Amino acid sequence: MTLTPAQRKLVLTVHVMTSVGLLGAIAAFLALAILGVAAADEQTQRGVYPAMALVARAVILPLAAAALAIGLVQALCTPWGLIRHYWVLLKLMLTSFATAILLIKMRMIGDAARLASDFAVSRAELSSLGVQLLVHAAGGLAVLLVPAVLSIYKPPGLTPYGFRRQQGCRAGS
């Protein structure tokens, strides 16, 4: 299926919006994680983890799914293709990896939110979970900055499939 120029612009706009929104939501999650680890008072520390769970569940997860889905539509319905160029393939792999890790870590995020309301759990235990969440948020942000850079610079390089396809198009014309 090929998109018209207007449809292509719409899909690109939605993809950019979801991807940038995802980066912003992860940055907010990271800021909350830093606060959870560095908070001087217990009330602030315990209040951060439910907020992190809400941000993860209601903002990060839907934006990650949307960015991945819209990126697939864009790749499949535009001349860039899904597996023709290494940079498109790398974007897909990194976004898929980050989304998979997010899905795996959703339980830990929920556990941290539940434990924050249990005053039998020490601040040290909460901080330990907070450090893990902080590291994962920082890693996720770093991983997802790479696709953003690839989208802008579009480094050259065709996959073997893309090369064969390009040669077939040239032979046919």
pLDDT number for residue 170: 76
Give the three-class secondary structure for 118: coil
Cβ contact 94:143 at 8 Å: yes
Q: What is the pLDDT of residue 80?
A: 84
Percent of the chain with pLDDT over 90: 89
Which residue segments constitute the domains of the chain, with CATH numbers given? 5-172 (1.20.120)
- The 10s digit of each residue's pLDDT in 35-66 is 999 999 999 999 999 999 999 999 999 999 99
Mean pLDDT of the chain: 95
What predicted TM-score, i.e. pTM, was given to this entire model? 0.92
pLDDT at 9 over 90: yes
The pLDDT of residue 2 is 83
pLDDT on residue 171: 74
| Average pLDDT for 11-33 | 97
pLDDT of residue 169: 78
pLDDT reading at 168 higher than 90 = no
3-state secondary structure 151-168: HHHCCCCECHHHHHHHHH
CB 81 within 8 A of CB 162: yes
The two tokens of residue 36 are: 């959870």
Please calculate the CA angle 82-84-85 and round it to the nearest 5 degrees.
95
Is the confidence at residue 151, as pLDDT, over 90? Answer: yes
